[in-house]
Amino acid sequence: MRCIYGPRRSFPFSPSPPGPIDVIPPSSSSSSSSSSSSYPSIDQSSRATKVSSNGGRMKDKIAIVTGSNQGIGYHIAHQIASGGDFAVVILACRRMDAGRNAADEIARTLKNVDDDDDATTKRCIVEAMELDISNPTSINDFVPEFVRRHGDTLDVLVNNAGMAFKGSDPTPFGEQSRPTVDTNYRGTVSITEALLPCLLRGGPGSRVVNVASRSGALRILKSNDRRRLFTHPENVEAITATMYDFVREAEILGENNSYANTNYGMSKCGVIAYTALMSRLCPEVGWSAMCPGYCNTSMTSGRGTRPAAAGADTASWLATTDDVSAYKSGGFYADRAPGKPERRPQPAIVANEINISS
Ligand SMILES: NC(=O)c1ccc[n+]([C@@H]2O[C@H](COP(=O)([O-])OP(=O)(O)OC[C@H]3O[C@@H](n4cnc5c(N)ncnc54)[C@H](OP(=O)(O)O)[C@@H]3O)[C@@H](O)[C@H]2O)c1
């Protein structure tokens, strides 16, 4: 098994893979492109089948859901933990008090459901761990701590953590660009890259699900030249360079930049392009991006028309389905169906309380 993967991360804030998991060094032999590195295969034979305290076997799958102390991420974590296939679900949150409360709450509901059964063999461990995806130090701390607690194998990473300036926020467009791209695009890419060695050890069923948005549709871009940068990127660095070219232009020209009138949309456009690219560069892992719809969460100040649990459903399904006829790596999904973000645009998401238009 080989993962032909892009070059070493060049953006300065990308964490270098931390010690304990840095066992997949770039090979000296490069792939067909001089800008790519290849990684040797990962031996999955050492993966232990976990045995519960009463000696019964339990499924040993592990999932991490970022930004899961509230909103859509909370429900994704809950749905995955309730599914019965995972031994551990980690709520990776930047506020540990909120993360612990959320983990306890999910664990309590699982306990209630399991009360009539042999809970020892069935119940999933739900645990909070500290992670701020916009902080490289936090990522560098998170990964070795994850390995120390749970081993070096990961089955599912759901990149749900994200932010959007409110429509009423007086911060100028150009000043919103960098924090939005830093969190939604760069943070997503950085934590994914840091955990990629663990995902590769997860074997062919391992998945990355990126919670994106239809706001990241290519139609937000002002020209075909700009669209091409997202449809034909050579490697991750190319997408990242495009994202920060947009940021630099936006900081100088505001909405008159040559890319788009939306910071949030740009950040999600980058995430969608990254997802499609990684499905080509690293086919050993399943990759998908999705839109949850306009959900009733803190991001939308409670104005979303969908319950957060309904918005979470497609991400949970993408993380867990073994229906190969319905799941295609690299795709963009909404309501469990593949499609282009352009389809069925939801103007409510674009113009409402979130400052997705800026
Ligand atoms: N709601 C919608 O209508 C909608 C539509 C399309 C896409 N989405 C996407 O869905 C995802 C979840 O959004 P939501 O509506 O559930 O929003 P939310 O309720 O505001 O939740 C966002 C979560 O992300 C966390 N987060 C933000 N920045 C982070 C960082 N740097 N590091 C770690 N965690 C961070 C937040 O942590 P704190 O609690 O500490 O702030 C929170 O847990 C986002 O990616 C969003 O862009 C939402």
Least confident of 6-15, 151-160, 234-243: 6-15
Closest CA to 269 of 351, 212, 189: 212
Question: 229 is written with which tokens?
Answer: 């940068």
Confirm or reject: Cβ of 73 under 6 Å from ligand 1: yes
| Dist. CA 67 → ligand 1 center (Å) | 6
| Dist. CA 211 → ligand 1 center (Å) | 9
Q: Best mutation site among 64, 142, 160 for ligand 1, i.e. most ligand atoms within 8 A of its Cβ?
A: 160
pLDDT at 114: 58
Give the number of the atom of ligand 1 that is nearest the alpha carbon of residue 70: 43
pTM of the prediction? 0.86
Q: Is 277 within a domain?
A: yes
pLDDT at 28: 31
Question: 218 is written with which tokens?
Answer: 């290519």
pLDDT at 60: 87
Full domain range(s) for residue 150: 58-351
CB 8 within 8 A of CB 35: no
Please spell the DSSP secondary structure of 178-207, one letter per residue: HHHIIIIIIIHHHHHHHHHHHHHHT-TT-E
CB 290 within 8 A of CB 211: yes
Confirm or reject: Cβ of 24 under 6 Å from ligand 1: no
CB 81 within 8 A of CB 104: no
Q: Best mutation site among 94, 97, 106, 158 for ligand 1, i.e. most ligand atoms within 8 A of its Cβ?
A: 94
Q: Is 24 within a domain?
A: no
Confirm or reject: Cβ of 166 under 6 Å from ligand 1: no
| Dist. CA 299 → ligand 1 center (Å) | 7
Query: In total, how many domains does the chain have?
Result: 1
pLDDT higher than 90, residue 52 = no
pLDDT at 112: 72
| Dist. CA 356 → ligand 1 center (Å) | 14
State the alpha helices, DSSP H only, in the chain: 71-82, 96-114, 119-122, 136-150, 173-180, 188-201, 224-231, 236-253, 263-281, 308-320, 347-351
pLDDT at 343: 63
Q: What does the CA dihedral 131, 132, 133, 137 come to, rounded to 10 degrees?
A: -90
Q: Is 75 within a domain?
A: yes
Least confident of 97-101, 153-157, 202-206, 218-222: 202-206
CB 293 within 8 A of CB 337: no
Closest CA to 160 of 194, 196, 211, 199: 211
CB 222 within 8 A of CB 152: no
pLDDT at 318: 98
Confirm or reject: Cβ of 267 under 6 Å from ligand 1: no
CATH number at residue 241: 3.40.50.720
Q: Work out the mean pLDDT of the chain and round it to a whole number.
A: 83
Confirm or reject: Cβ of 15 under 6 Å from ligand 1: no
Closest CA to 64 of 178, 247, 221, 194: 194
Q: Best mutation site among 65, 70, 166 for ligand 1, i.e. most ligand atoms within 8 A of its Cβ?
A: 70
Using pLDDT thresholds of 50, 70 and 90, give the confidence band for residue 340. Answer: confident
| Dist. CA 160 → ligand 1 center (Å) | 6
Q: Is 111 within a domain?
A: yes
Give the number of the atom of ligand 1 that is nearest the alpha carbon of residue 215: 6
The CA-based angle 283-157-56, given to 5 degrees, is 105
CA–CA distance, 152 with 124 (Å, rounded to integer): 19
Ligand 1 atom 32: the closest Cα is on which residue? 132
DSSP 69: S
pLDDT at 342: 76
Q: Cβ atoms within 10 A of the Cβ of 42, count?
A: 22
| Dist. CA 256 → ligand 1 center (Å) | 27
The mean pLDDT value for 110-136 works out to 80
The mean pLDDT value for 213-242 works out to 97
Confirm or reject: Cβ of 291 under 6 Å from ligand 1: yes
Closest CA to 19 of 144, 153, 191: 144
Residue pLDDT, tens place only, 67-121: 999 999 999 999 999 999 999 999 999 999 999 999 999 999 998 765 655 544 4
**Residue 88: its H or E element:** strand 86-93
**Residue 289: its H or E element:** strand 286-290
Give the number of the atom of ligand 1 that is nearest the alpha carbon of residue 294: 3
Closest CA to 247 of 174, 308, 161: 174
Confirm or reject: Cβ of 158 under 6 Å from ligand 1: no
Confirm or reject: Cβ of 132 under 6 Å from ligand 1: yes
The CA-based angle 160-165-168, given to 5 degrees, is 145
The mean pLDDT value for 250-262 works out to 98
Q: Is 92 helix (H, G, I), strand (E, B) or coil?
A: strand
Q: Is 210 within a domain?
A: yes
Q: Which residues pair with 209 in a beta bridge?
A: 158, 288
Ligand 1 atom 45: the closest Cα is on which residue? 162
